[in-house]
Amino acid sequence: MTARNTPTPAEAGTAAPECKREAALKKKYRRHWEDDFSVDWDTTEYVSRREFTRFLGLSSAGMALGTTVIAAAASLKGEEKGESPRVRVGRIADFPVGASKAFEYPRKGLYALLVRHEDGSFSAYSQKCPHLGCAVYYEHEKNVLECPCHEGFFNVKTGDVISGPPQRGLSVVNLEVSNDEVWAVGGGGH
Ligand code: FES
């Protein structure tokens, strides 16, 4: 323990109210063992209520962030495992022969294109051109899928390249037609 000749502001009774309270606490909790395991109260750092609250706040924010990251990782893992989403594209009656419709698949922000053929069947492909990523559209008069960026053309029944710079065909979206409805059930990855 450090010997002191001059009384502290608390001992002299001139300390601020906060310091008086601190001095009272020191006195109250002083025990014999303090002589052997002494704590220098003047140099010890206290954890204030504000610091503790800030610590709790940061811990909670960290836990919330961790939970979000884990949920996102689990979702990605599900996609990696091949768990394709099942998305309703529309009713069969909504698509006359030669109709086409863009819809979000396999996830929000990614688009696919559904086309109804003359024989009544359907095909769907990722709308993203495999060349540089422009959106392809259905050119009804030529009955082809066309990428307007560099004139890439694709077979509407298979998605294969007909002409232009793309080196591979469009990614096929698997469809299921049941109960008068068309559903996207897989594929369409980029
Ligand atoms: S981006 Fe489609 S042909 Fe170039």
Q: Which domains does the chain have, with CATH numbers?
A: 9-77 (no CATH), 87-187 (2.102.10.10)
What is the CB neighbour count within 10 angstroms for residue 145? 26
Whether 149 contacts 161, CB under 8 Å:
no
Summarised one tens digit per residue, pLDDT across range 81-103 is: 568 899 999 999 999 999 999 99
Cα torsion angle, 14, 15, 17, 20, sign: negative
**Ligand 1 center–CA 133 separation, angstroms:** 6
pTM exceeds 0.75, yes or no: no
| Side chain identity, residue 166 | P
**Ligand 1 center–CA 168 separation, angstroms:** 11
**Ligand 1 center–CA 96 separation, angstroms:** 28
Helices then strands, each counted (H, E), the chain: 4, 10
Which of 92, 1, 75 is closest to 38 using CA atoms?
1
Q: Give the residue, by CA position, lying nearest to ligand 1 atom 1.
A: 132
Q: Is 125 left (phi over 0), alpha (psi -120 to 50) or beta?
A: beta
Tell me the best of 150, 154, 168, 170 to mutate to test the pocket of ligand 1, counting ligand atoms within 8 Å of each CB and taking the most. 150
**Ligand 1 center–CA 162 separation, angstroms:** 13
Summarised one tens digit per residue, pLDDT across range 58-81 is: 766 666 565 445 545 544 555 555
